[in-house]
Amino acid sequence: KALALYEAAFPAGHPIIATSWNNLASNINAQGRAAEAEPLYRKALVLYEAALPAGHPDIATGWDNLALNIEAQGRAAETEPLFHKALALREAALPAGHPDIATSWNNLAGNMAAQGRVVEAEPLYRKALALREAALATFHPGRIDGYWALADNLQRRGIAPAEVRWRYRQAQAGAFERMASFTGYTPAAQAEVRKYRPIFTGQVRAAWDLAGGAR
């Protein structure tokens, strides 16, 4: 409905129309219909590239969204150049240390991990986390996710159990801060608990690994 209204009200190719296509794609993607969403993300990206100055951050977001969508369909190797493209655009367009640059580093790390290149992914996760620690509050979801992603990477490889536990504890502290902001056990609060459950189970496993190593 919104897309039809925007297409009627704005000139063809207006950036707001591209945003509407992107939002529709994201809605369909969130319903688990990733294959249906892909051509809509591509449509949005074409419109962004036609309407915006070269290197505009929204173009980087378009590349990022398309890459994440394709990756979710199991085509991780295909998306690596797209993540590199989004990262290059963001580093050129945004101030050094901007959180969106950290997001691109984290997404690229996740892509490498999805391809089984977990050792290569580790320094990228660390790069993303360093940027997020400098730019974001301890309770910000991006910072929590940064601790979580690094802990998960190390834990899956069976290395550095002490750091794994520390990173999970940092993620847990941020999650607790977020949960404390809710006035009750609302649906939103319940969603937070579900989202961050792997942090708590990961920390238990890390403690178990440390205890086993001490024997």
Task: Name the phi and psi angles at 140, rounded to 5.
Answer: -70, 135
pLDDT-derived band at 27 (thresholds 50, 70, 90) equals very high
CA atoms within 13 Å, Cβ hemisphere of 34: 12
Task: Enter the pTM of the model.
Answer: 0.89
Residues whose CB is less than 8 angstroms from the CB of residue 169 and which lie 6 or more positions away in sequence, other chains included? 203
**Mean pLDDT value of segment 172-194:** 92
Residues whose CB is less than 8 angstroms from the CB of residue 198 and which lie 6 or more positions away in sequence, other chains included? 148, 152
Q: What is the pLDDT of residues 7-19, one digit of tens each?
A: 656 666 677 888 8
Q: Which CATH superfamily is domain 1-133 in?
A: Tetratricopeptide repeat domain (1.25.40.10)
The pLDDT assigned to 20 comes to 86
- Packing angle of the helix pair 141-157, 118-135 (nearest 10 deg): 150
Cα-based angle 71, 137, 201 (whole degrees, multiple of 5): 60
Any idea where the domains of the chain sit in the sequence? 1-133, 136-215
Q: What is the pLDDT of residues 47-92, one digit of tens each?
A: 999 999 999 999 999 999 999 999 999 999 999 999 999 999 999 9
In angstroms, rounded to a whole number, what is the distance separating the alpha carbons of residues 122 and 163?
Answer: 13
Residues whose CB is less than 8 angstroms from the CB of residue 37 and which lie 6 or more positions away in sequence, other chains included? 25, 26, 28, 29, 69
DSSP conformation class of 11: -
The pLDDT assigned to 104 comes to 98
